[in-house]
């Protein structure tokens, strides 16, 4: 049972109510400089969505170039080779750091954690605001990098030196350093935010909420934050070294002066691999929240899922060199990393099976969030299985740097960043904005996303297996890669992308229109058991002005025998 710590003056809070803020906030206080976790969540969400539009525009440009080389791309122009590099680099960088992370972790973490553990805000509201401001600055820096002389950095999101460390090679003296700076600022923002999330979840739980009553999404975001904090350090050191190489002429990664480019690879991937689990775990958390609600059935094997997530996190630190199989590392080391890489597929596959087990025997309602949750499991399984091919170091000799890799990681990243996001967004939208989204539009958007998405990336598996390498701006220069069949597949992928993009406008319409004109949402439109559904939609300042809830049971008590209702909220005494 928790007891509030006394503050420095020696008196504790005698009552759980408080009210020392009496004036109505101005527009600036309410929307721009807010310390309220719900507003900060929305700031992260909207920024992430805007960056997704930018990231989507970038992929549109370079995929048009790939399908129709040399064409004048509408709204852009002709894509030069150097611009192509900058487009692919920034597409990847933006989607991972400025879309997946802010939306999945910062937006949903900020919104859901205090509400789902039954407290009134994050433990450090001003630090929370600071983390968003640093994040916003990082977003401004990366976008600004496109407009400086010589344009944005084009050395791939992996930024390998010597290309990235030397302006003679990268040809982007300013863009390269702005890229590093933007990523470093983003890291700082997430370190600050992570401390807030983990401390809040550990310490500020509602009375009666034991660790196994905490909703899975909260656990997942916390584990992801810890994973991030533990893995990003070496890359921060590496980023400083790269910046010094770029700007001061040091030679940390320059072999001409005794540096080692492979050092960068190790520093990058030691972070880079846990990073994918940093974004995966929150996405699986969304699915874990949505499936019990729409199968009206308890989450299957809660503790196993939790231990699996922790185990995955730990194991993720021991697989990184599978990105470096053909970079010159000792083949015996490659063997070790093959073993660990194949091993890590087991806990994640198990997690997917546990979600399927949650569905078994359930009373399934195919609402929009449920459709997205089901799609996550199906699509992610394809990504996971294709990862096994790549994890085998022998096979990777062929597959490395081909489109097979690219299709693999889009079958993992797209479910994570988009399907996971849509799962959470369509589910929590009523709570966030107090309105219901249009379900018909939601379902059309769902199918209009999933079908084109597969039509983009299945061809890319085929192209990759046929030997198409990544990061090449015009395959017409390679006779064996520019057969009519292969070019046809490129065109199929690009046209499917255009269809995918078109359907996203439907989502944007639904999202913004419903905010003002959607049906007003009740407290608990989905009849769910977790704490956020016990307060108004949207929750007022302080979340529960009449007193924070107490918890009496776990988060997934659905279909409990002998009860009238098929769900038993966490905060009801009986």
Partner 1 sequence: MSFRPIATTRAATGAPTGRLAVWWLIASEIVIFGGLLASYLMHRLGHEEWANYAIHTNTMAGAFNTFVLLTSSLSAVLAHNAAEMGDGPKAAKYLVATICGGGVFLVIKTFEWSNEIIHGYTITANSFWSFYYTAAGIHGCHVIAGMIIMGFVAVDANRNKELHRVELCGIYWHFVDLVWIFLFPLLYIAK
Binding residues vs partner 1 (CB under 8 A): 2-5, 7-9, 12-13, 16, 18, 20-21, 35-36, 114, 119-126, 191, 194-196, 198-200, 202-205, 209, 229-238, 240-241, 244, 248-252, 257-260, 263, 267, 270, 541-542, 548
Closest contact distance (angstroms) between CB of 184 and partner 1 is: 11
Compute the Cα dihedral for 467, 396, 319, 212 and give only its sign: positive
Closest contact distance (angstroms) between CB of 98 and partner 1 is: 21
Max Cα separation, the chain? 78
Closest contact distance (angstroms) between CB of 513 and partner 1 is: 31
Q: How many CA atoms lie within 13 A of 146 on its CB side?
A: 18
Instruction: Using CB atoms within 10 Å of the CB of residue 57, give its burial: 0 to 12 exposed, 13 to 18 middle, 19+ buried.
Output: middle
Closest contact distance (angstroms) between CB of 144 and partner 1 is: 25
Cβ-based nearer residue to partner 1, 33 or 146: 33
Calpha distance 445→410 (Å, rounded): 19
SS3 string, 322-344, reads HHCCCCCCCHHHHHHHHHHHHHH
Question: What's the chain's length in residues?
Answer: 574
Is 153:178 a contact under the CB 8 Å cutoff? yes
Cβ-based nearer residue to partner 1, 197 or 533: 197
Is 380:244 a contact under the CB 8 Å cutoff? no
Calpha distance 461→408 (Å, rounded): 8
Cβ-based nearer residue to partner 1, 67 or 123: 123
Cβ-based nearer residue to partner 1, 200 or 421: 200
**Nearest partner of 154 among 250, 95, 207, 86, judged by Cα:** 86
Look-up: residue for tokens 């939306």? 103
Host H or E run for residue 82: helix 81-93
SS3 string, 52-66, reads HHHHHHHHHHHHHHH
Residue 402 DSSP class: B
Closest contact distance (angstroms) between CB of 538 and partner 1 is: 15
Cβ-based nearer residue to partner 1, 29 or 572: 29
Cβ-based nearer residue to partner 1, 18 or 519: 18
Cβ-based nearer residue to partner 1, 361 or 540: 540
Closest contact distance (angstroms) between CB of 180 and partner 1 is: 14
Cβ-based nearer residue to partner 1, 47 or 196: 196
Look-up: residue for tokens 């009519």? 484
Closest contact distance (angstroms) between CB of 42 and partner 1 is: 17
Is 54:63 a contact under the CB 8 Å cutoff? no
Closest contact distance (angstroms) between CB of 66 and partner 1 is: 37
Cβ-based nearer residue to partner 1, 22 or 332: 22
Closest contact distance (angstroms) between CB of 133 and partner 1 is: 16
Give the pair of three-digit tokens for residue 497. 């992308």
């Amino acid at each position: 049972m928790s007891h509030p710590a006394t503050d420095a003056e020696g008196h504790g809070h005698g009552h759980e109510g408080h009210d020392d803020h009496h004036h109505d906030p101005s527009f600036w206080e309410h929307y721009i400089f807010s310390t309220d976790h719900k507003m900060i969540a929305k700031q992260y969400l909207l920024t992430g969505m805007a960056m997704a539009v930018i990231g989507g525009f970038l992929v549109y440009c370079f995929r048009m170039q790939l399908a129709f080389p040399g064409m004048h791309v509408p709204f852009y122009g002709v894509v030069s080779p150097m611009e192509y590099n900058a487009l692919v680099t920034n597409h990847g960088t933006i989607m991972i750091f400025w879309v997946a992370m802010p939306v999945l972790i910062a937006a949903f973490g900020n919104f859901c954690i205090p509400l789902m553990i039954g407290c009134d805000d994050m433990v450090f509201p001003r630090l929370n605001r600071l983390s968003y401001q640093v994040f916003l600055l990082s977003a401004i820096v990366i976008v600004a990098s496109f407009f400086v002389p010589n344009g944005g950095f084009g050395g791939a999101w992996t930024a390998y030196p010597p290309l990235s460390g030397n302006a003679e090679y990268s040809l982007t003296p300013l863009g390269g350093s702005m890229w590093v700076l933007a990523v470093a600022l983003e890291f700082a923002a997430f370190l600050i935010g992570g401390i807030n999330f983990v401390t809040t979840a550990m310490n500020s739980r509602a009375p009666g909420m034991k660790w196994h009553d905490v909703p899975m999404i909260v656990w997942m975001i916390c584990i992801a934050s810890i994973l991030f904090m533990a893995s990003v350090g070496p890359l921060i050191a590496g980023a400083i070294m790269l910046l010094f190489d770029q700007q001061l002429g040091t030679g940390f990664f320059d072999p001409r002066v005794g540096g080692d480019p492979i050092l960068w690879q190790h520093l990058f991937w030691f972070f880079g691999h846990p990073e994918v689990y940093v974004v995966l775990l929150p996405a699986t958390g969304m699915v874990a929240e949505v499936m019990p609600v729409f199968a009206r059935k308890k989450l299957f094997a809660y503790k196993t899922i939790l231990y699996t997530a922790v185990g995955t996190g730990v194991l993720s630190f021991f697989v990184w060199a599978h990105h470096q199989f053909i970079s010159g590392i000792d083949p015996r080391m490659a063997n070790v990393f093959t073993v660990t890489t194949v091993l890590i597929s087991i806990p994640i596959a198990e997690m997917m099976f546990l979600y399927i087990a949650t569905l078994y025997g359930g009373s399934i309602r195919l609402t929009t969030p449920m459709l997205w949750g089901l799609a996550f499991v199906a699509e992610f399984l394809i990504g996971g299985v294709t990862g096994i091919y790549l994890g085998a170091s022998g096979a990777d000799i062929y597959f490395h740097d081909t489109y097979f890799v690219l299709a693999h990681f889009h079958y993992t990243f797209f479910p994570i960043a988009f399907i996971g996001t849509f799962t959470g967004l369509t589910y929590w939208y009523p709570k966030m904005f107090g309105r219901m989204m249009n379900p018909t539009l939601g379902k059309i958007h769902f199918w209009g996303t999933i079908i084109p998405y597969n039509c983009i990336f299945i061809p890319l598996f085929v192209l990759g297996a046929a030997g198409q390498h990544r990061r090449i701006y015009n395959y017409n220069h390679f006779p064996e890669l520019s057969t009519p069949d292969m070019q046809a597949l490129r065109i199929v992928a690009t046209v499917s992308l255009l269809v995918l993009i078109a359907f996203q406008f439907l989502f944007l319409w639904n999202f913004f229109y419903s905010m003002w004109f959607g049906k007003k949402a009740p407290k608990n439109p989905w009849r769910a058991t977790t704490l956020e559904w016990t307060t108004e939609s949207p929750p007022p300042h302080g979340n529960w002005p009449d007193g924070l809830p107490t918890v009496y049971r776990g988060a997934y008590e659905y279909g409990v025998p002998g009860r009238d209702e098929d769900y038993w909220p966490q905060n009801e005494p009986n």
